Structure 1
Amino acid sequence: MADSFATRAQLDVNGKSYTYFSLPTLGKQFDLGKLPYSMKILLENLLRHEDGGMTVGKEHIEAVAKWDAKAEPDTEIAFMPARVVLQDFTGVPCVVDFAAMRDAVSRLGGNAGQINPQIPSELVIDHSVQVDVFGRPDALDLNGKIEFERNAERYSFLRWGQKALENFKVVPPNTGIVHQVNLENLARVVMEREVDGQLLAFPDTVFGTDSHTTMINGIGVLGWGVGGIEAEAAMLGQPSSMLIPQVVGFKLTGKLPEGATATDLVLTVTQMLRAHGVVGKFVEFFGDGLQHLPLADRATIANMAPEYGATCGIFPVDAEAVRYLRLSGRSEEQIALVEAYAKAQGMWHEPGAPEASYSATLELDMGEVKPSLAGPKRPQDRVLLSDMQANFRKNVGPLVANRAPTDRQIQRFEKEGGGQPQAERLAAKPVCSKINIQDQDVELRDGSVVIAAITSCTNTSNPAVMLGAGLLARNAAAKGLTSAPWVKPSLGPGSRVVTDYLEKAGVLTDLEKLGFFVVGYGCTTCIGNSGPLPEAVSKGIAENDLAVASVLSGNRNFEGRVHSEVKMNYLASPPLVVAYAIAGTVDIDLTTEPLGKDRDGNDVYLRDIWPSNKEIGDVIAATVGPELFAQNYADVFKGDSRWNAIASPEGESFKWDEASTYIKNPPYFDGMTMDVGAIEDVRGARVMGLFGDSITTDHISPAGNIKKDSPAGKFLQSRGVQPADFNSYGSRRGNDDVMVRGTFANIRIKNLMMGGEEGGNTLYYAKDGGAGERMAIYDAAMKYKAEGTPLVVFAGKEYGTGSSRDWAAKGTNLLGVKAVVAESFERIHRSNLVGMGVLPLQFLEGENAQTHGLDGSETIDVTGLQDGAARRATVIARKADGSEKRFEVHVMLLTPKEVEYFRHGGILHYVLRQLARKAA
């Protein structure tokens, strides 16, 4: 390690002497007094990794030390996280890639044993449990049993990785959600590591293969979600190239009023930051309001950074962070190191401290926050509780406008005659399906809540909202209220600690009285693992094509994500999830209308059962303590009897099973040599898809249900897998044959080439001309690939929002897509495309496919790339009649390192060649 600025210093804590790189020492040469907390972490990272300029040089350190808050990002730096955290949906393909790289590096002359994580890498299995069973005491056990039966092959593979790979640990199923486990146990806040005979102390920083890795920002740890590709590179010791970011300050004042929750606060923050625009920026929270914001509330806000579009949403280390470390059972030695290091580095926050300089500043008085939800399909679309009924009625119209009328309706409306066109009259009339469920004859309508899920890391980590939901359930049950019979209620705690404090408070039984039994410890409904609806409900929805709803305490509600039969999805706090389960519909104003009637027939309103802030606080103080964390994390990597009973292969290299439909050696490295290619122009490409705004990674690579008549479903059936055993796309991410067929296969995706119809189809244009032939995107892509025809995708704004899903880039690559041209990209997906060798291009301001008159029938050239040196390229679109349209686009290879990765064919190819050269 170089030390150009002589910042190496010693810190004595716990009887140990630590070497650290002192920011106050650097501050004698540069004015660091107004540097934001997050920038101090970046600066320390550069000081510690300075290597004479090969990766980090003196000029990079100076660039951050002299950071100009208002400057547009244009200086590249290399950031190296201290550790990596993975979840199983994205972690399995990471381990698959490691196994494949072990084979590939051997073929290139290296040693398979070279391929190991170089930094601590921990995987939490939390995405595989589904809500198959609900509303009964044995739901947790039965869902766990089904989970292990479905995923035995994947889990066997992960157990191989746990044994074969160094610096790699697995937190087994049935423990908790990755971000909750990260917050409660894995996070160090300050790391210690022996390097070259010295014991170093440095900030805990993390990359995660889930976009909500930012939840850890709540405790002062800088980290964000990356694609599996970038995470693998970090695990292999490769720094991540990034531009020095702008930092938006978010000043919090006041405190939450009676009746408002952390969920309401984060939905407000998300709406404000989305409106401001923070994509690619850091967000840093400060202000006197922090002293009224418990750590769990901070983590809730930080968790939603992907929803407001920021790289991170970080809080500083302060007395509250230390209090949480003690509460969650960290050792006194670790706590002492955190506090001493933060204070020594000027990273400790005290109320009333001088404000840092920010690129822009927003401010919110938390006392003005009101109860809210978000939906029906985007987390930034906040809706006041009082406006929910109006929001539903406004949004349901387009969903039912094209609904085919039943014969009975047609006969009735023909008798009425006159006036409005029939379609308008039908849309204006309420539609219901009569079903029998739980031995009751009931009516299912548009807006009926069919899923009410307390799920996801956003809220299930927060004692205030979880105990709030339990107390509300207690008050409701005392009045004889229960969930509507057509509702599928579920409770997926963030960790076993949550169950313990719900039990200790005596409210778990009250939640169960309303049907909210624990169904599993994992992401469940929020990731799309909501499981099947009761058969009667499914038939009722299908009978009249009803626009039914889900209400979930999640962070994502994109189209097609929660459940394929549910068209409207609203994010809400856990107490409101319980309330809507009782109401049974979103077509209600809970601020003025009763939820139901008590045993004596009296109306019961939401205000009658809502617990007070003091009541919730008193219960937290009486129930949540360090002993709960200590007992639940004593053997966190050990697992239960099911986990330990799984057999797994031995050996340095993995023995691939050609018959497997879960784990397969991917084709990325087939035919790879040591020769590095060039970035060539794209010639004669066809348009695979023409998409609008807000195409999410869920649209591109769904995680949920595999339809039996989809390309992936047909493939699985051809391999002898029955539809009942399909599992989910997320669980099959270790098999490229399944995943490439699932790319762009979301049931709600709209390819404008198809007139806006839903589903993963396109028009295939044969080389001999003629009209486009309708077929599945996968089938068309394979035809084009057989002809040697490259593909491009056109899209609108915010392409690739959502989860840090590497398969959204991997699948795009394997379909043969060479370039994606969009109005704007979300940060992680753009990076993933680069990492997989797919060129991201951006329309000039104010331009898009429509302004250029593109309809998808054109052949496309992309010229002027100059082997990656060009900042702009030219797109030439040729119609069948020979006419041409030319326009310029931005080349979104943002750093020299990205250009280098792209020349290699992707980041993993780059790393493999580096390792093979070292071995030669």
Structure 2
Amino acid sequence: MKHNTLNTLKKFKTGKKQAHFYSLPALGKSLGIDMTKLPVSIRIVLESVLRNCDGDKITETHIKALANWQPNEKREEEIPFVVARVVLQDFTGVPLLADLAAMRDVAEKMGKRAKSIEPLVPVDLVVDHSVMIDYFGTKKSLDLNMKIEFERNQERYQFMKWGMQAFDTFGVVPPGFGIVHQVNLEYLARGVHHDKKHDIYYPDTLVGTDSHTTMINGIGVVGWGVGGIEAEAAMLGQPVYFLTPDVVGVELTGQLRGGVTATDLVLTLTEILRREKVVGKFVEFCGPGTASLSTTDRATIGNMAPEYGATMGFFPVDDKTIEYFKGTGRTKQEVAALKDYFKAQEMFGIPDAADIHYTKLIKLDLGSVVPSLAGPKRPQDRIEIGDVKSTFTTLFSKPIAENGFNQPPAKLGREFTTSTGSILRNGDILIAAITSCTNTSNPSVMLAAGLLAKKAVKAGLKVRPHVKTSLAPGSRVVTEYLERAGLLNSLDELGFNVAAYGCTTCIGNAGDLAPEFNQTIIDDDLICAAVLSGNRNFEARIHPNLKANFLASPPLVVAYAIAGNITRDLMTEPVGKGTKGDVYLGDIWPTAKEVEDLMRFAMDPKVFRKNYDQVQSKPGKLWEHIEGVTGNIYNWPESTYIAKPPFFDHFAMKPDAMPSITGARALGIFGDSVTTDHISPAGSIKETSPAGQWLIEHGIRKENFNSYGSRRGNHEIMMRGTFANVRIKNLMIPPRPDGSRIEGGETIHQPDGRRMSIYDAAMQYMTTGVPTVVFGGEEYGTGSSRDWAAKGTYLLGIRAVIVRSFERIHRSNLVGMGVLPLQFKGRDSVDSLHITGSELFDIEGLEHGIKPQQDVTLVIHRPKGHIDRIPLLLRIDTPIEVDYYQHGGILPFVLRQLLSD
């Protein structure tokens, strides 16, 4: 037990017993601070700092600094936050496990115990990202897709089985149970934890290796997404360090109108909060409108915090939270402890806006929210449903520089015949997917989709034949309540058969289109579409040949699948023709009462308990048949999926001095909103790409390539895939005659001016000892918490990334890999400085030590001899990040600590 810090170890009553906890009210009394005015999210973090105070990594100074949080002070203090647990998904979990295995190799080589490398907090890996929609539209889709999943991923799953027996605190939820965030919400989340050894209760907190970890904020759990690099450090006993955040309050009032869904609300909030620039801030919801929302509606809003840029979208614990824990089958003791604990901490209930001191308060009347979609390229680009047709029509002919598709207007209405005689048009919806944790966790929108399908079938409507339909519930509980509500058959009749329990279309696992569709799209440069109930619609993420992707609620996904083309105005035109003529959206849209009447099927504690009991008792025959090697050390068999990572190849107990950056070349110059998908794609691997060529050289046929995401355990593929997204635009490549930009991962090698893949150029620069840098615009690294976007950058020899602004997680990941994140100051940019990639670059100002957020100088050597000196801001934000960088990254830093004990 930690020492009784500031006399705050107190007792509270839960059930018939008295239990210990670190009391925030007692801390407030000790320090003379009214704790009830602090944002609730800050108080939960403060409890962790208080409870874990050890006088070393966490001191009383840290406690007092955070307890004295002020809404608008300059943010200079770092918080050492020790989380209760870590959650992984398999795309990020496999490389993390590979790093741990490699650390054990180092430990053994240095004569240390291999078991000294062991997670110190519970770690759960949920296998949800590996299943693809190869089969759809039949009752056999689920079984067929799972069989293919296991065939493709056998080597990865064998590696996971090794990890389960090698590490004491490492558990796996096997494939087929659901999406990590929904499983986390329904099963893994505890509300409060009980340290039985010391009889201390404390709140559930976590980090996860997926940006949408924030869905857990909907039930009052503080947690957010980090890269696998940071998660690894958290697993191995390091606090998660971050700058004390601003906390933006969002006051919700009123209530949603009939026909408006939680999806419409979250798309509205995403647009508002992205505009309010909440990047890197805590967002905390308050007010009577917040209190009226169901817990699953709150989870939908929390889920999309990465899309509006916040670290969290937090909802305090209240009676709705307690109802959710009861409904999802938690024990009576757990539910009672949750309520009693938060009441004892004076943190129970949704506060009014006036109760809390927020950095800023944003207000939204729920009654102002209208049905919406978002797209065609970003989740914050909301479109009211009545404006979808006109927006797409306008963008169809707009220049690419203005976010358009640069197509002749007359082409929009033309028909194009495929090799099999099918007809395609621009705007045709080729993928309609009910997918993603964002909405599949929410019974109200899932039941609405089923009700709409039931009415559509009754009216005689059918889905257009060119549409690839799929239903990928976030957990098996969803299928159960849809079936009990009598809605599953109707979804089946429209082709929305259950095809998988996993992250499918939203992560880029939509599977391929018919070959003739792909060929026609490519040959005739068609702008076809996907509509999905997801959270991400970045270019090339859903499918490399679909350039227009729209986020929508599950019932709207079904409606658009029937309509078949995004230019059908569902507010004024019929959705389709039924047995009795035209059918309009209003004819089949479910009422709020119809949805409410079926909600009783959605929250059955027995169903939840029965389902999740099978994680251990009946994980499925496919999983049971997977055999992994045993022992504390992995034997690294030859595999194109799993390879020993190179990050510790030259490990020594003392770090090398960081070499200076002089005479660097630009490997890439990119524009605004470059996502981690652009930097490190998760989807399909092209045969002609460096990664595809490597696989072919190693005897892998195209049909067995799988995806970049599933091959993240092999650095040879991932470094070749870095900056290899088919839609990325390197501004070093001259534009076409019409001004449009060439897409794909290529660059100009200097000084010879040859055009080649970014990977090949990087290898040539490394061979000749030339350091490289990358330039970008605003919001560099937005999107998924993808550690390979930073790992790949490091392995290509890139020493610094210089941009207008960073998204939170990617900046942190770059530091964690020993890559300098640098930011232009004022109005400086690549454009204003006329940087073309023909220059040489030096970074000055690091020679005499590093301080957080200091100024450094970019020295630009122009081809004709002119030299410019430009000030930059070093985005190493905290003292611990200085240590990470000086050690060559967070992983060697942590390994040196573990091996020195």
- Identify the TM-score tier after normalising by the shorter chain: over 0.9
- Structure 2 partner of 1:286: 286
The answer to whether the Cα contact below 8 Å between 1:208 and 1:225 also exists between their aligned partners in 2 is yes
Rounded to whole Å, the distance in 2 between the matches of 1:781 and 1:351 is 53
1:21-52 residue CA offsets vs partner (Å, 9 max, x unmatched) = 10111121322121110011011111101112
- Structure 2 partner of 1:779: 760
Rounded to whole Å, the distance in 1 between the matches of 2:527 and 2:105 is 50
Q: Which of 879, 882, 887 is the matching residue for 1:899?
A: 882
Rounded to whole Å, the distance in 2 between the matches of 1:226 and 1:811 is 16
Q: Which of 681, 687, 707 is the matching residue for 1:708?
A: 687
Rounded to whole Å, the distance in 2 between the matches of 1:258 and 1:598 is 25
- Structure 2 partner of 1:32: 35
Aligned ranges 1:640-651 → 2 under 5 Å: 640-651=620-631
- Structure 2 partner of 1:419: none
CA drift at 1:19: 1.9
Rounded to whole Å, the distance in 2 between the matches of 1:76 and 1:424 is 50
Matched, 1:55 2:38: no
Rounded to whole Å, the distance in 2 between the matches of 1:225 and 1:758 is 29
- Between stretches 870-879 and 827-836, larger displacement belongs to 870-879
Matched, 1:453 2:433: yes
Residues 481 and 716 of structure 1: CA distance in aligned 2, closer, same or farther (over 3 Å) = same
CA drift at 1:825: 0.4
Residues 622 and 211 of structure 1: CA distance in aligned 2, closer, same or farther (over 3 Å) = closer
- Structure 1 partner of 2:518: 538
- Structure 2 partner of 1:885: 868
What is the percent sequence identity of the aligned residues?
Answer: 53
- Structure 2 partner of 1:863: 844
**Amino acid of the structure 2 residue aligned with 1:291:** A
Rounded to whole Å, the distance in 2 between the matches of 1:892 and 1:426 is 44
Rounded to whole Å, the distance in 2 between the matches of 1:106 and 1:856 is 45
- Structure 2 partner of 1:758: 743
Residues 576 and 857 of structure 1: CA distance in aligned 2, closer, same or farther (over 3 Å) = same
1:219-239 residue CA offsets vs partner (Å, 9 max, x unmatched) = 000000000000000000100
Q: Which of 677, 682, 695 is the matching residue for 2:674?
A: 695
CA drift at 1:106: 2.2
- Structure 2 partner of 1:355: 355
CA drift at 1:354: 5.4
CA drift at 1:880: 2.2
**Amino acid of the structure 1 residue aligned with 2:7:** A
Q: SS at the partner of 1:636?
A: helix
Residues 7 and 594 of structure 1: CA distance in aligned 2, closer, same or farther (over 3 Å) = same
The answer to whether the Cα contact below 8 Å between 2:636 and 2:643 also exists between their aligned partners in 1 is yes
Q: Which of 593, 596, 602 is the matching residue for 2:576?
A: 596
Residues 884 and 443 of structure 1: CA distance in aligned 2, closer, same or farther (over 3 Å) = same
- Structure 1 partner of 2:738: none
CA drift at 1:56: 1.4
Q: SS at the partner of 2:870?
A: strand
The answer to whether the Cα contact below 8 Å between 1:89 and 1:127 also exists between their aligned partners in 2 is yes
**Amino acid of the structure 2 residue aligned with 1:191:** H
Rounded to whole Å, the distance in 2 between the matches of 1:374 and 1:89 is 26
CA drift at 1:751: 0.2
- Structure 1 partner of 2:139: 137
CA drift at 1:434: 2.1
- Between stretches 486-495 and 71-80, larger displacement belongs to 71-80
Rounded to whole Å, the distance in 1 between the matches of 2:172 and 2:145 is 20
Residues 708 and 915 of structure 1: CA distance in aligned 2, closer, same or farther (over 3 Å) = same
Size of the aligned set, in residue pairs, is 887
Superposition RMSD in Å: 1.7
Matched, 1:473 2:453: yes
Q: SS at the partner of 1:732?
A: coil
The answer to whether the Cα contact below 8 Å between 2:672 and 2:778 also exists between their aligned partners in 1 is yes
CA drift at 1:859: 1.0
CA drift at 1:427: 4.9
Residues 425 and 502 of structure 1: CA distance in aligned 2, closer, same or farther (over 3 Å) = closer
Aligned ranges 1:379-528 → 2 under 5 Å: 379-398=379-398, 427=410, 430-435=413-418, 442-528=422-508
- Structure 1 partner of 2:604: 625
CA drift at 1:15: 4.2
CA drift at 1:149: 0.1
The answer to whether the Cα contact below 8 Å between 1:691 and 1:752 also exists between their aligned partners in 2 is yes
CA drift at 1:867: 2.6
Rounded to whole Å, the distance in 1 between the matches of 2:895 and 2:412 is 63
The answer to whether the Cα contact below 8 Å between 1:84 and 1:208 also exists between their aligned partners in 2 is yes
**Amino acid of the structure 2 residue aligned with 1:453:** A
Question: What is the TM-score normalised by the length of structure 2?
Answer: 0.97
- Structure 2 partner of 1:205: 205
CA drift at 1:617: 0.5
Rounded to whole Å, the distance in 2 between the matches of 1:220 and 1:869 is 35
Rounded to whole Å, the distance in 1 between the matches of 2:317 and 2:412 is 56
- Between stretches 30-39 and 2-11, larger displacement belongs to 2-11
**Amino acid of the structure 2 residue aligned with 1:572:** A
Rounded to whole Å, the distance in 1 between the matches of 2:657 and 2:133 is 48
Matched, 1:121 2:132: no
Residues 292 and 425 of structure 1: CA distance in aligned 2, closer, same or farther (over 3 Å) = closer
Aligned ranges 1:181-200 → 2 under 5 Å: 181-194=183-196, 197-200=197-200
CA drift at 1:613: 0.5
Aligned ranges 1:521-920 → 2 under 5 Å: 521-600=501-580, 602-638=581-617, 639-657=619-637, 659-755=638-734, 756-765=741-750, 769-770=751-752, 772-865=753-846, 866-869=848-851, 871-918=854-901
Rounded to whole Å, the distance in 2 between the matches of 1:462 and 1:735 is 35
- Between stretches 337-346 and 533-542, larger displacement belongs to 533-542
Rounded to whole Å, the distance in 2 between the matches of 1:70 and 1:424 is 47
CA drift at 1:398: 4.2
Rounded to whole Å, the distance in 2 between the matches of 1:872 and 1:144 is 52
Rounded to whole Å, the distance in 1 between the matches of 2:678 and 2:493 is 37
- Structure 1 partner of 2:46: 43
Q: SS at the partner of 1:5?
A: helix
The answer to whether the Cα contact below 8 Å between 1:401 and 1:424 also exists between their aligned partners in 2 is no
Rounded to whole Å, the distance in 2 between the matches of 1:5 and 1:885 is 54
The answer to whether the Cα contact below 8 Å between 2:291 and 2:350 also exists between their aligned partners in 1 is no
CA drift at 1:894: 0.6
Rounded to whole Å, the distance in 2 between the matches of 1:128 and 1:161 is 18
The answer to whether the Cα contact below 8 Å between 1:216 and 1:222 also exists between their aligned partners in 2 is yes
1:157-215 residue CA offsets vs partner (Å, 9 max, x unmatched) = 00100111111100000000000000000001111124xx4121101001000000000
Rounded to whole Å, the distance in 2 between the matches of 1:428 and 1:741 is 37
The answer to whether the Cα contact below 8 Å between 2:102 and 2:644 also exists between their aligned partners in 1 is yes
CA drift at 1:105: 2.1
Unaligned runs of 5+ in 2: 735-740
1:109-154 residue CA offsets vs partner (Å, 9 max, x unmatched) = 4221111110010000000000000011100000000000000000
Question: What is the TM-score normalised by the length of structure 1?
Answer: 0.95
**Amino acid of the structure 2 residue aligned with 1:617:** E
- Between stretches 167-176 and 64-73, larger displacement belongs to 64-73
**Amino acid of the structure 1 residue aligned with 2:369:** V
Rounded to whole Å, the distance in 1 between the matches of 2:470 and 2:408 is 37
Rounded to whole Å, the distance in 1 between the matches of 2:728 and 2:857 is 28
The answer to whether the Cα contact below 8 Å between 2:432 and 2:467 also exists between their aligned partners in 1 is yes
- Structure 1 partner of 2:23: 22
1:768-798 residue CA offsets vs partner (Å, 9 max, x unmatched) = x44x100000000000010011110000000
Rounded to whole Å, the distance in 2 between the matches of 1:835 and 1:452 is 38
Rounded to whole Å, the distance in 1 between the matches of 2:380 and 2:484 is 35
Rounded to whole Å, the distance in 1 between the matches of 2:524 and 2:5 is 72
Residues 917 and 757 of structure 1: CA distance in aligned 2, closer, same or farther (over 3 Å) = same
Rounded to whole Å, the distance in 2 between the matches of 1:259 and 1:858 is 57
- Between stretches 581-590 and 284-293, larger displacement belongs to 284-293
CA drift at 1:680: 4.2
The answer to whether the Cα contact below 8 Å between 2:678 and 2:725 also exists between their aligned partners in 1 is yes
Residues 726 and 641 of structure 1: CA distance in aligned 2, closer, same or farther (over 3 Å) = same
1:871-911 residue CA offsets vs partner (Å, 9 max, x unmatched) = 01111111222221210100111111000011111111011
Q: SS at the partner of 1:849?
A: coil
- Between stretches 151-160 and 17-26, larger displacement belongs to 17-26
Q: SS at the partner of 1:685?
A: strand
